[in-house]
Amino acid sequence: MRRVELLLLLAVGLYLAVGLAVLYGAGIVKNARVPLVVGGATVAALLAVHCYWSRSGFRGDPTLFPAVALLAATGLVFLLRLDLEYGLRQFVWLLTGLAVLAVTTGLLRDYRLLADYQYLWVAAGAAALLAPLVFGQESGGARSWLKLGAVQFQPSEFAKVFLVVFLAVFLARATERCATGMRLWLPTAGLLVLTLVILGLQNDIGTAAIYFATFLTLVYAATARVVFVAGGVVLLAAGTAVLACVAPHVRVRLETWLNPWPQVQTHGYQITQSLFAIAAGGITGTGLGAGHPEFVPAAHTDFIFAAVVEEMGLLGGVGCILVFVFLVYRGLKMALECRDRFGTLLATGCTALLGWQGFVIMAGVTRLLPLTGVTLPFVSYGGSSLVTCFILLGLLLNISHAGGGSAHEGKRRAAGPRGAGRVSRSHRAFWLPPGGAGPRSDGAPL
């Protein structure tokens, strides 16, 4: 019984239909077949995922997917409005993302399988980060693109998932064996520094910031010690200060953040256009299709939040933030309800990635933080980003599936097929080191 999910998805379908009707009515999309095909296929795909979950007895959270669908529908409508071609490509990527979501919740439904391949993940993450340095294409100053035939993609997006999975396994195992000091910190700090250096070479500061925040969040979730977070923040401040002295483009960014107005025609153009667009929106916005978000450079990717705020107003912007708040709340709740450490850390990591990314770009567009070019999860144009976000969503849902879904479904779930013995086996397979060496191998006193 995933009735809540079905009703919410139908409401999202209605929302999408109204948005597409406005686009057609306002003459932005002239071909009547486009809204019909895009709307129909998107709703059909959403419902197909829902049907697949209902049929296969999936017990994941029923409200998370509709919340994401709401964001994706908003993104789709705005992309069609900004540029028909981008909108249609995003539509194809959205269908791909939904297929990937179905596959993730199908193949990895027992997410503990991931824990068996930790070195594969770190290797894949490293490969995905390094590949663009060697074979990469430069786009918008960041050298982080790979071209494969007609499809361009950004491997650092996928590297996020790999590294979060690896770090969750590593930290779960390390804290499980009570490892402290060098055994715990050296690999974590090493991985972090390496990642940041690689991203620095690719000139991808936004992604580096998100990695950094996610690492800190995971370390805090694993150890519950504020001192590491404080140390990380101090390091971040020091690093930014050093970079501002050494790298001229970082200093320019900081200066444009503090005061963009003297450089309104050059470096500050994008951010000031974004601020104008936001101001033009007022409380309820200019109305969908009635504003001029196309004046903001990169309105379809990094600056889509400015476009949403211009045409849906303060209300639309606050609404977007609320949906992200909802996602983060649900994600952290899943992490708390999860009954093994790996699941807890993985859920925390996935949530942190989505939450920090949303925060960094929404704060950047509104000039709360220095601007760094990352996509708004589920909303911005970008195939790699969208597919990655759907993988993260799938992992979160799998964790909530193992935790048994939401509380008001507790009774039905308790009668489910999950026997005590099965749980025990899978836990043991995961937690005990091979060879029966026992958790005391590192000499921790008990």
Q: Which residues bind another protein (CB under 8 A)?
A: 4, 8, 11-12, 14-15, 18-19, 21-22, 25-26, 63, 66-67, 70, 74, 175-176, 178, 224, 284-285, 287-290, 312-313, 315-316, 319, 322-323, 326, 329-330, 335-341, 344, 406-408, 410, 414-415, 418-421, 423-424, 427-428, 431-432, 436, 438-440, 446
Query: Closest CB to another protein among 27 and 149?
Result: 27
Backbone φ and ψ of 399, nearest 5°: -65, -40
Q: Quote the least distance from Cβ 177 to another protein, whole Å.
A: 9
Q: Quote the least distance from Cβ 218 to another protein, whole Å.
A: 14
Contact 121, 166 (CB under 8 A): yes
Query: Closest CB to another protein among 266 and 441?
Result: 441
Query: Closest CB to another protein among 175 and 270?
Result: 175
Q: Quote the least distance from Cβ 41 to another protein, whole Å.
A: 20
Q: Quote the least distance from Cβ 17 to another protein, whole Å.
A: 9
Query: Closest CB to another protein among 61 and 157?
Result: 61
Query: Closest CB to another protein among 260 and 403?
Result: 403
Q: Quote the least distance from Cβ 152 to another protein, whole Å.
A: 31
**Sheet of strand 151-153: strand arrangement:** 137-139, 142-148, 151-153
Q: Quote the least distance from Cβ 23 to another protein, whole Å.
A: 10
Instruction: For residue 233, give both structure tokens.
Output: 């923040």
Q: Quote the least distance from Cβ 408 to another protein, whole Å.
A: 5
Q: Quote the least distance from Cβ 148 to another protein, whole Å.
A: 36
Query: Closest CB to another protein among 134 and 414?
Result: 414
Residue in 445, 444, 446, 429 with CA at minimum distance from that of residue 174? 444
Query: Closest CB to another protein among 161 and 288?
Result: 288
Instruction: For residue 396, give both structure tokens.
Output: 């979160």
Q: Quote the least distance from Cβ 409 to another protein, whole Å.
A: 9
> How many residues are listed for the chain in this entry?
446
Backbone φ and ψ of 143, nearest 5°: -95, 75
Contact 116, 78 (CB under 8 A): no
Contact 129, 195 (CB under 8 A): yes
Query: Closest CB to another protein among 174 and 275?
Result: 174
Q: Quote the least distance from Cβ 112 to another protein, whole Å.
A: 12
Query: Closest CB to another protein among 193 and 322?
Result: 322
Residue in 240, 186, 178 with CA at minimum distance from that of residue 212? 240
Query: Closest CB to another protein among 129 and 172?
Result: 172
